[in-house]
Structure 1
Amino acid sequence: MAKKELLRVEGLKQYFPIKGGLLGRTVNHVKAVDDISFKVYAGETVSIVGESGCGKSTTGRAILRLEEPTEGKVYFEDVDLTSLSKKEMRKQRKDLQIIFQDPYASINPRQTVADILNEAMTIQNSVPANKRRKRIIELLETVGLNEYQADRYPHEFSGGQRQRIGIARALAVDPKMIICDEAVSALDVSIQAQVLNLLEELQEEFNLTYLFISHDLGVVRHISDRVIVMYLGKIVEIGDREAIFENASHPYTKALLSAIPVPDPTHEKTHIALKGDVPSPIDPPTGCRFHTRCPFAQDKCKTDEPLLQTHQTMEGEHKAACHFIEEIASGELLPRDYSIKPEMV
């Protein structure tokens, strides 16, 4: 059975102008997201991972037009979201919701939980006025809260409970897709597990689709069907969870995976230490943007930008943007320094 395409992003760019001079003219741009394309199918969880500043959250906000994209197209169920007026986009947001990283900052502290959920239903007119209170109680019970908590204020809840309120607000309008922007990164590990399990249960119950934005690869491995790896505004690798975690192709993905701690003091693993900092998105490197930190970089990497090419592995098909995937995999191309070495972790 063919998968149903729900979201398609084509050539998305998000540039933020930098003003300067006496007249406040635009002197440069921060290239936060620079020409990325991908698809999300109904019912799956696609995660976007990468270091801070790689453009993960900006991608999510651009899809929802919380920030107006500079270029590119975003199709949701074959409707071009970038061509809609603000009024039309407001109606479309009934099907597209977001859960923010900081639950306390994203909800109004002066409103009770019932007011917060009622406001969402009122704006989208998703539930008749005389049935909203009943729906509010149902939503609270769905996310693991109690009826008596409906008339409490956000400051009376713990961080995990506030995130559950954020999830309930997203569910209040019966969305088809939810963008989870670092939805569990601000929570304790034990609470993270509870919220992740809740998200999985809700996905199965309501047939939800998730675009899960995170820097935590342990969380991503647990919840994802497919993984998108971003570096400095570009997609460097896309693949099924097994393909990424068991047989990553791109040197940057390999470096990220090597940083995952292993809960076994006797286990030896190869640690890839990336040298230097992430370059500025104002003036990104030419060619492959990762070449300034890549232990396998060659002269070609400095001048020619690699395209996302399909590679077949034992775990399935996935794409990576690197000129020397096969040479690295076969061992023909060795690292230029000793930043890759076995370490006891």
Structure 2
Amino acid sequence: MSQKELLKVKNLKQYFPIKGGIFGRTVNNVKAVDDISFTVHEGETVSVVGESGCGKSTTGRAILRLDNPTDGTVEFDGVNLLDLNKKEMRKMRKDMQIIFQDPYASLNPRQTVRETLREAMAIQNVVPKEKRADRIAELLETVGLQPYHADRYPHEFSGGQRQRIGIARALSVDPKLIVCDEAVSALDVSIQAQVLNLLKKFQKEMNLTYLFISHDLGVVRHISDRVIVMYLGKIVEVGDKKSIFENPQHPYTKALLSAIPVPDPDHNKDRIFLQGDVPSPIDPPTGCRFHTRCPFATERCKEETPELRSAGYMAEGHQGACHYMELIESGEHQPTRETSNVRMLDEEPEKV
């Protein structure tokens, strides 16, 4: 894998204003993404995971400037995208594409597949006009469809076929980076496997780079090289796939991993149930944003925001944003189950 940094995100913020009052002034902000930084190397797949509302999809949209970020820098192939005007950004979009979660909503119902793919090629002027018909037929065969499908409309396809059309549209302009925003979550499991294998095949053949946004950790484990875990607009843990899945450090990451179903009825697995609701991104907690639900939270967690850092017992490149890592590193004991806010699956549920 090449070590070239294709995408470099630094101190990215995406706030959405809340208007109120007679004059419609901004009274507060939804802090969907709040000061995050990470890099993506050429040819790798970096997955962003977390609960609904954690800011992972907003991160993908902000990187592509589908939403204009509030602050920070997004450097793609050495160019800061936030410094570009609309005309310059349109040229840059040739190298940056997205596969949306809902393939039906992202395709124009009034356009045939041919018109959809031809439009992308025309806007970016990547294929001569006389060769576009051949290129469309080639793209459809590449994603497992037939050339005659080009004259059909989106409603004439199944969900899996529509997602393949979405992939073909992304590939039609020969991009370097593809943001996959829950690209397989709306598909049946068997179709998911086909689409994932297709994405991996294209990555190998075309040296594509993926930012893969998902809440399905089983899928993430299959496709990722590195994993970023987000909670309430912040990155709480980042590392290579093996480190995250075999040696998670942040309590939130451990809770997410415990929810992965195991296809074995005889397998006894402790399930971590977090207490309380996810706080509002309008008024997030001070200090560590996870402290209201964390079993190991201390007064320090309520007051001081932890920085992403590594520890001596962690693999290279594996970082977590948790004060408790310092206690683990120093050898202090973990809290007992009785003093935690975590209930395991084998415990008796509370009576209501």
Q: When the two structures are superposed, what TM-score results if normalisation uses the length of structure 2?
A: 0.95
Equivalent residue, structure 2, for 1:187? 187
Residue 269 of structure 1 deviates from its aligned partner by 1.9
State the distance in 1 between where 2:135 and 2:260 align. Answer: 41
Aligned position for 1:343: 346
C-alpha distance in 2 between matches for 1:157 and 1:262: 32
Deviations 1:75-105 (A, max 9, x none): 0011000000011000000000000000000
Gaps of 5+ in 2: 348-352
Corresponding residue SS for 2:245: helix
User: What is the CA distance between 1:310 and its match in structure 2?
Assistant: 1.7
CA shift digits 1:170-198 (9 cap, x unpaired): 00000001000000001111111110010
2:279 maps to which residue?
Answer: 279
Structure 1 position 327, deviation (Å): 2.8
Which secondary structure state, in structure 2, belongs to the residue aligned with residue 179 of structure 1?
Answer: strand
Q: CA deviation at 1:313?
A: 4.5
Distance 1:306 1:315 in 2: 19
Bigger drift between 309-318 and 84-93 goes to 309-318
Coordinate RMSD, CA, aligned: 1.5
**For residue 71 of structure 2, what is the aligned residue in structure 1?**
71
**What is the CA-CA distance between 1:325 and the residue it aligns to?**
1.3
Structure 1 length normalisation: TM-score? Answer: 0.97
| Equivalence for 2:89 | 89
Residue 153 of structure 2 corresponds to which residue in structure 1?
Answer: 153
The question of whether the paired residues in 1 share the 8 Å contact of 2:2 and 2:41 is answered with: no
Name the SS of the counterpart of 1:309 in structure 2.
coil
Alignment of 1:171-320 (within 5 A): 171-313=171-313, 316-320=316-320
Between structures 1 and 2, the one with greater strand share: 1
Q: Percent identity?
A: 72
Taking the aligned partners of 1:312 and 1:228, their CA distance within structure 2 comes to 20
Measured in 2, the distance between the counterparts of 1:37 and 1:138 equals: 38
CA contact (8 A) 1:120 1:173 kept: yes
| 1:343 counterpart SS class | coil
Q: Partners of 1:314 and 1:30 in 2: how far apart?
A: 34
Cα drift, residue 324 of structure 1: 1.0
SS in 2 for 1:230: strand
The count of aligned residue pairs is: 344
> Could you report, residue by residue, the CA deviation over 1:11-70 in whole angstroms, capped at 9, with x for unpaired residues?
000000000011111000000000000000000000000000000000000000000000
Q: Distance in 1 between matches of 2:146 and 2:215?
A: 32
User: Is the Cα–Cα contact under 8 Å of residues 243 and 317 in structure 1 kept in the other structure?
Assistant: no
**Alpha-carbon distance in structure 2 between the residues aligned to 1:52 and 1:142:** 33
The 8 Å contact of residues 274 and 339 in structure 1, kept in 2 or not, is answered as: yes
In the alignment, does 2:109 pair up with 1:106? no
Are 1:95 and 1:174, in contact at CA under 8 Å, matched by a contact in 2?
A: yes
Q: Do residues 332 (structure 1) and 333 (structure 2) align?
A: yes
